[in-house]
Structure 1
Amino acid sequence: MESHFLRKPTSKRLHAITFQFNVDDGIITREFARTCISTCNHLRYLNLENGNFEELPSSICNLKQLRLLFLGYNKRLKKLPDSICELQSLLYLYLNGCLELGDLPKKMKRLISLRELSLTTKRMSLQESGIQYLENLEFLGICNCQNLRVIFEGACRLTCLRKLEIVDCVGPISLPFVELIALESLVLNNCKFKLTQDNKSKFPLNLRTLSIKNSEQVVELLQCLNESAYSLEFFAVYDCPSFTAIPVWLPNHIRLRVIRLIQCPNLSSIPQEFQSLIALKELRIEYCGELSERCRPTIGKDWPNIAHIPRIELDLEWVQWMED
């Protein structure tokens, strides 16, 4: 593979290396990564997903113009070199699916340009990595971290963080809401959380998107929003049998445009207060027991509460579709 393009004189001018197909195990080795780094000094985009090496070469710091670095789904990657923190032009770093990744650099706060970070790690805490000081970070994705208990705590400078996703983390994880003043989107999928009175009271006040999936704590999580500003525009609950009633405060979020209720078999009814959601454009109800029947056009008991919504889907069938 190296002889195909990396040994050509023009390789020094390459700005991007990626693959248009899923590579097999063993193709992207540490030697291949080292050759990419040493030969192509002007890289801005480097995709080493599905790699087969335990540690990224420390020479990665020589790629001063690198903007995007994909290292995801490397089943052997155990450590990142400290030198990666010298990539001050790096905007996107993806480490999701690296199930063996343990050690994280302790000076990640030096990645001053970083906008998006997605990771999987074996660590119990991200506190020592310093990600809570990434002042320009806009997206943080945490996936399949089976040992994680603390994301960070105490002082935090994530004042630009707009989207937080926590997926497939068995926990319980302490939610880091302190000073997340810019957070607009929160996605919580298949996780268990440690909910204290402190982090409940500091739940983000300006959320526009909230999505909860497969959580036994869905009711408790939603109670955290009771005192928040009424800013929601997208609200979704998936695979939550313990979700039995629409929160009484939800109709107060008059900016709501989309509501999705999927596989919540014990959800009993749609309250009359839904009629006040005049901005609501789409309602989807799928596999929620008898709720679909209660929402059937003209004949359903709850139909008067939702008839004003332009687009309504019941069990994968659009029963109402009106243009805005």
Structure 2
Amino acid sequence: MVWETSHGEPFLKTCMSKFKCIKMLDLSYSNFDTLPNSISNLKHLRLFNLSWNERIKKLPNSICKLFHLQRLSLFKCEGFENLPKEFGNLISLRNLCITTKQKALTGIGCLESLRILRIYECENLEFLLQGTQSLTTLRSLAIGGCRSLETLAPSMKQLPSLEHLMIFDCERLNLLDGNGEDHVPGLGNLRVLMLGKLPKLEALPVCSLTSLNRLVIRECPQLIERCKTTIGEDWHKISHVSKIYIDGFKTPEN
């Protein structure tokens, strides 16, 4: 059952008290400043959508008692300030989409069941994740519109299950740090890599891309130069990839 509302906090309190068995709750495009602590009453909740709520600033810590929650969306919550301290207690969370005013994401590294992570339009974000060693089940990571992001956390190397990585519109981001040390997630199982609008990206990461079968690069002028067929400095890293698209054009298959 999905609820959609713009009726305000009275509706929420009624929902929490009378519909304790609902599994899906859609509060997208609403105007809540906060959620009631009684959100913890929805113990069977699996999907919670708060997308496009521009006023909400935080979630009550009681939301961390929703141990069956599998999917949470905070997309385009442009006023959202930070995740609850005990956010890592959401042991069943598999899919998270977030927009936040934070400079660094905290609390996500303990989500041991997380498979899909989307981080969009976080204008203040300078550092991605901390303590991501527990994200061993993460399969898909997308980062977009984070224009203050300069580096990926070193600990992100330990993502052994990652299969799909998309990064776009991060104008300050270079996948290599100032010392030339690889800061990209462990890419041994990566199958799809999509990169777009990364003007400071100079080269592909120095790591194994042996499982990669699809590479898409758009509006990354320095990287495109290095990935030219046969003659590019990074061509040896991707020559085995069956499908390569550069600015919309497919390179000839080997």
Q: What's the TM-score, normalizing by structure 1? A: 0.69
* Residue 184 (structure 1) shift: 1.1
**More displaced 10-residue stretch of structure 1: 40-49 or 149-158:** 149-158
CA deviation map 1:203-256 (0-9, x unaligned): 422211100111113333x1x1x43141111110122333224231244435x3
Residues 1:171 and 2:148 aligned together: yes
Where do 1:1-324 residues align within 5 Å? 16-19=1-4, 27-127=6-106, 130-154=107-131, 156-176=133-153, 177-191=156-170, 192-193=172-173, 195-196=176-177, 197-200=180-183, 203-220=186-203, 222=204, 224=205, 226-242=206-222, 243-246=224-227, 247-254=234-241, 256=242, 258-262=243-247, 284-285=248-249, 306=252
SS at match of 2:16: helix
In the alignment, the residues of structure 1 paired with residue 160 and residue 104 of structure 2 have an alpha-carbon distance, to the nearest angstrom, of: 22
The Cα of 1:148 is off from its aligned counterpart by 1.0
Aligned in 2, Cα 1:17/1:193: closer, same or farther, shift over 3 Å?
same
> In structure 1, what is the equivalent of residue 230 of structure 2?
none
How far has the Cα of 1:167 moved from its partner? 0.5
Kindly, what percent of the aligned residue pairs are identical?
Answer: 34
Compute the displacement of 1:175 (Å).
Answer: 1.0
Find runs of 4+ consecutive structure 1 residues off by over 3 angstroms.
Answer: 197-203
**Paired AA for residue 225 in structure 2:** T
2:209 and 2:238 in contact (8 A); partners too: no
**Counterpart Cα distance in 2 of 1:138 and 1:201:** 17
Question: Pairwise CA RMSD of aligned residues?
Answer: 2.2
Structure 1 regions of 5+ residues with no counterpart? Answer: 1-15, 263-283, 287-304, 310-324
Q: Could you tell me which amino acid in structure 2 is paired with residue 228 of structure 1?
A: S
Q: Which has the higher contact order (CA 8 A, sep 6+)?
A: 2
Deviation digits for residues 142-179 of structure 1, max 9, x if unmatched?
A: 11111111222346200001111110001234313231
Residue aligned with 2:129, SS: coil
Deviation at 1:33, TM superposition (A): 2.3
Q: Distance in 1 between matches of 2:185 and 2:68?
A: 33
1:315 is aligned to none
Counterpart contact for 1:149–1:174, Cα < 8 Å? yes
**Greater gyration radius:** 1
Query: Structure 2, unaligned stretches of length 5 or more?
Result: 228-233
